[in-house]
């Protein structure tokens, strides 16, 4: 299972809000909802987040074995 539990801490550290993602980086509210509920998103989205936050994938995503 993939969880985006580290994303929110990384965003806070970098000063990026959900509002900023939607209004400055054109992330849809549906995509934010998917991230908040640990639903499937594309690697393209993860890559964009890493670039926006200037971080590594490990700072956003955690994989838990089923």
* Terminal Cα-to-Cα distance of the chain (whole angstroms): 6
Q: Is the pLDDT of residue 66 over 90?
A: no
Token pair recorded at residue 19: 């509002």
Angle, in degrees to the nearest 10, between helices 43-53 and 5-14: 30
Q: What is the greatest pairwise CA distance in the chain?
A: 36
Sign of the four-CA dihedral 47, 48, 52, 58? negative
**pTM for the model:** 0.90
State pLDDT tens for residues 11-51: 999 999 999 999 999 999 999 999 999 999 999 999 999 99
């Amino acid at each position: 299972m993939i969880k985006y539990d580290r994303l929110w801490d990384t965003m806070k550290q970098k000063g990026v809000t959900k509002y900023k993602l939607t209004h400055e980086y054109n992330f849809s509210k549906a995509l934010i909802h998917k991230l908040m509920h640990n639903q499937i998103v594309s690697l393209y989205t993860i890559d964009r987040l890493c670039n926006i936050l200037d971080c590594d994938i490990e700072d956003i995503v955690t994989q838990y074995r089923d």
